[in-house]
């Protein structure tokens, strides 16, 4: 059954990218954390990508639960929040199957989710660890150039921004952006009152992530 689901996902991914019927989704998780944070972020990033990259992503991102078979409809999932995260074993297995079958998950720490996330990712990939990406990784050199790696959007604890990944056979299948808070930079300008140049950096880095996933 799991192999059949994986085959169906690969077929749907091929149709989506070939016919340009691209969709991305927000990942809904348990544990009490605010998975719904930054409601204007992903729509703004999609609009920017459709304008700058000429993608044809549905302007209204869907919401999908971790344990749902519907995650296999989307080649790209986005996850964010501030607090606790919890995956059941069934949800962890579903997410693992999705990622190994060709899916991609971007997790953007909106501040405070990192310790909970690491614990839950160990359920998804007990045999893999988050690895920091170097500034020379291709994800930083798509249409927009980030020679120093992940940009800093919000200060939080004043730590340097870091991008971590999980790989399968040299393919980046999961990206975790930490101490950057790209999603805040994608939000409507009046939400955080970030300078225009800061928002632009966030949108450009987000566009690089989208570009990297859809090209891979």
Residue range 101-118, pLDDT digits in tens: 999 999 999 888 999 999
User: What is the residue extent of each domain of the chain?
Assistant: 2-215
Q: What percent of the chain stands above pLDDT 70? A: 90
The strand pairing partners of 131, in sequence order, are 165
Closest CA to 113 of 211, 35, 201: 35
Backbone angles phi, psi at 196, to 5 degrees: -55, -40
Stretch 72-95: mean pLDDT, rounded? 96
Note the pLDDT tens digit of each residue in 169-195.
999 999 999 999 999 999 998 887 789
Cβ contact 186:203 at 8 Å: yes
Least confident residue range of 5-9, 36-40, 83-87, 128-132: 5-9
Amino acid 35: pLDDT:
95
Q: Which CATH number fits domain 2-215: 3.40.50.12140, 3.40.190.10, 3.50.50.60, 3.10.690.10?
A: 3.40.50.12140
Eight-class DSSP state of 112: S
Average pLDDT over all residues of the chain: 90
pTM score of the predicted model? 0.90
Q: What percent of the chain stands above pLDDT 90? A: 79
Is residue 9 over pLDDT 60?
A: no
Closest CA to 174 of 72, 70, 96, 81: 96
């Amino acid at each position: 059954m799991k192999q059949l689901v994986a085959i169906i996902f690969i077929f749907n991914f091929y149709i989506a990218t070939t016919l340009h019927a691209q969709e991305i989704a927000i990942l809904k998780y348990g544990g009490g954390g605010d998975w719904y944070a930054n409601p204007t972020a992903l729509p703004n990033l999609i609009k920017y990508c459709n304008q700058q990259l000429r993608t044809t992503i549905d302007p209204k991102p869907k919401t999908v639960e971790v344990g749902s078979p519907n995650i296999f409809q989307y080649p790209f999932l986005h996850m964010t929040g501030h607090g606790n995260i919890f995956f059941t074993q069934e949800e962890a297995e579903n997410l693992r199957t999705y990622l190994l079958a060709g899916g991609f998950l971007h997790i953007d720490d909106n501040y405070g989710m990192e310790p909970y996330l690491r614990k839950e990712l160990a359920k998804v990939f007990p045999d893999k660890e988050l690895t920091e990406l170097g500034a020379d990784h291709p994800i930083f050199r798509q249409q927009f150039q980030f020679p120093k790696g992940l940009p800093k959007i919000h200060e939080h604890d004043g730590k340097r921004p870091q991008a971590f990944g999980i790989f399968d056979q040299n393919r980046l299948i999961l990206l975790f952006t930490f101490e950057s808070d790209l999603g805040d930079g994608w939000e409507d300008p009046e939400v955080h009152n970030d300078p225009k140049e800061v928002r632009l950096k966030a949108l450009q880095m987000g566009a690089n992530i989208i570009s990297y996933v859809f090209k891979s």
